[in-house]
Structure 1
Amino acid sequence: MLYSKTTAEQKRLALRERLASGELLRFPGAFNPLSARLIERKGFDGVYISGAVLAADLGLPDIGLTTLSEVAGRGEQIARMTELPAIIDADTGFGEPMNVARTIQSLENAGIAGCHIEDQINPKRCGHLDGKAVVDVDTAAKRIRAAVDARRDPNFLIMARTDIRATADGPMGLDIAVDRAKALVDAGADAIFPEAMRTLEEFETMRGAVDVPLLANMTEFGKSELFSAQQLADIGMNIVIWPVSMLRIAMGATGRALDTLNDEGHLRGRLDEMQHRADLYDLVDYEAYNRFDSGVFNFEVER
């Protein structure tokens, strides 16, 4: 009932232990607190909270318009509804190194298990769009060092995301991405998120280059091929995310339902596509609230 029984500290420790096992952890993207609870119910390992989804939820493009308070607030709402650890997209850290430090402590306060800080310039862009630019390696490293210095819980996972592969085309692009990843590990990153890898072989090269957990982003309609969880596990990846997939599916279904309302004036033919009310009540643990009310209000006022 209400919120997670597992504390933020316990979630962070559990995530660290699972990462140390070397297995591949599956983190679908939650677009709201209820979807996070469904991700847990379906047996996944964690919840991913995408910056693109948070922006889209506000009707905004993913171009750095969201603020730290908006991201931390929504992250807290999602993370507290599940026993699973949540990793959140912290963009570029919302400013200079001191802002990055504040970001980390705000996300710790929000109950998040970890985050990633990227090396794009401000304002950032979606990692799979053209026209991005990255900061120099010293600036990127300062962001990570600030994040590491600021955290109070040593188990809070600080992941460095590098977008340099998408900005460095040609045969040397992957080598440049590997060098950037190594520099970010040297700066203290606990894990690396190499964005926009083109092929499975590129992921394999990155896996062989750094000795920290690696995340694979399997976002649709982007620059990376859509590999299966098993393919990624076979080459030693540690986390796979599907950041926007659940939102895309939900919005696609909503669009089709609205078309049906326009065409037919009712949704009787789409009932089998809907979450049944009984399933919703079960997911939100409606019965536990009912039991709580009955236990609290089981007295009579003396007259």
Structure 2
Amino acid sequence: MLYSQTPAAEKRRLFRERLASGELLRFPGAFNPLSARLIERKGFEGVYISGAVLAADLGLPDIGLTTLTEVAGRGQQIARMTELPAIIDADTGFGEPMNVARTIQTLEDAGIAGAHIEDQVNPKRCGHLDGKQVVDEGTALKRIRAAADARRDPNFLIMARTDIRAVEGLDAAIDRAKALVDAGADAIFPEAMRDLAEFEAMRTALDVPILANMTEFGKSDLFSVDQLRDAGVNIVIWPVSLLRIAMGAADRALDTIIDEGHLTSKLGEMQHRADLYDLVDYEGYNHFDQDVFNFEITR
């Protein structure tokens, strides 16, 4: 009832323990707190919180316009609604190294299990768009050192994302990933890998967990969980998928209202009221306080 019963520090400890096992962990992207609860109910291992989704939720493009306050606030709302660990997209850390340090501590306070900091130039671009620019290696390493030095919970996962593959090629991406690990990164997010062989090359080169981004309409093919596991990937995210599906359904529903004047034909596609009430645990609130819940759920 209300929020997660597992303290944030315990979520982080359990997440680190599971990540160390070597199994592939699936982190679908939650676009709101309720979708995070659904992800948990379906049996996934974690929740991902995408910067692109947070920007889109505000009606903004994913070009670094969101603030730390907005990202941390929404991240807290999502993370506290599930027993699962949540990894959040912290873009370039919202400023210079000292800002990166503050970002990490703010996200720790928000109950997040880990965050990734990228090596793009501000204003950043979506990782699967052309025209990206990356910072020099020294600047990228300073961001990760600041993040690692700032965390207070050693189990908070500091992940370094590198976008250099699309700019300078795979060899440059491997070299930078190695340097980022030496600077304190616990895991690597190599963005926009072209094929499974590139993930395998990253796996061979690195001793830390790696993440695969299976975002639709991007530079990478959409590999299956089994393919990514065989390539040595440790975490896979589908960052914007649920938002895309939900917005696609909303778009079609609005067209149906325009064309048919009602949504009767769409009832089979909707989450039933009873299923929604079950997901938000109306019964739990009823047991807590009969005055809060005073009606019966009917199908």
**What's the TM-score once normalised by structure 2's chain length?**
0.97
Residues in 1 aligned to 2:132 and 2:227: alpha-carbon distance in whole angstroms: 29
2:10 pairs with 1:14: no
Give per-residue Cα distances to partners, 1:146-181, cap 9 Å, x unaligned.
00000000000000000000112xxxx111100000
Aligned length: 293
Which residue identity does 2:23 align to in structure 1?
A: E
Match for residue 173 of structure 2 among 177, 187, 191: 177
SS in 2 for 1:294: coil
Quote the RMSD (CA, aligned, Å). Answer: 1.0
Residues in 2 aligned to 1:18 and 1:96: alpha-carbon distance in whole angstroms: 32
Match for residue 286 of structure 1 among 273, 279, 282: 282
Give per-residue Cα distances to partners, 1:173-228, cap 9 Å, x unaligned.
11110000000000010000000000000000000001000000000000001000
Counterpart for residue 70 of structure 1 = 70
Counterpart for residue 222 of structure 1 = 218
Counterpart for residue 39 of structure 1 = 39
Counterpart for residue 301 of structure 1 = none
Match for residue 231 of structure 1 among 210, 227, 232: 227
What's the CA shift for 1:295? 8.2
Give per-residue Cα distances to partners, 1:259-290, cap 9 Å, x unaligned.
00000010001101000000000000001111
What are the ranges of 5 or more consecutive residues in structure 2 without an aligned counterpart? 294-299
What are the residue-to-residue correspondences of 1:1-303 with 2, within 5 Å?
Answer: 1-168=1-168, 173-294=169-290
Residues in 2 aligned to 1:293 and 1:7: alpha-carbon distance in whole angstroms: 24
Counterpart for residue 296 of structure 2 = none
- What is the percentage of aligned positions where both structures have the same residue? 84
Residues in 2 aligned to 1:154 and 1:295: alpha-carbon distance in whole angstroms: 43
What's the CA shift for 1:293? 1.3
What's the CA shift for 1:236? 1.2
Which residue identity does 2:6 align to in structure 1?
A: T
Residues in 2 aligned to 1:147 and 1:19: alpha-carbon distance in whole angstroms: 20
Residues in 2 aligned to 1:28 and 1:235: alpha-carbon distance in whole angstroms: 19
SS in 1 for 2:267: helix
Conserved? CA contact 2:30–2:47, under 8 Å = yes
Conserved? CA contact 2:285–2:292, under 8 Å = no
Residues in 2 aligned to 1:236 and 1:162: alpha-carbon distance in whole angstroms: 18
Structure 1 runs (4+) greater than 2 angstroms displaced: 294-297
Give per-residue Cα distances to partners, 1:67-105, cap 9 Å, x unaligned.
000000000000000000000000000000000000000
Residues in 2 aligned to 1:254 and 1:296: alpha-carbon distance in whole angstroms: 31
Residues in 2 aligned to 1:175 and 1:167: alpha-carbon distance in whole angstroms: 11
What's the CA shift for 1:296? 9.2
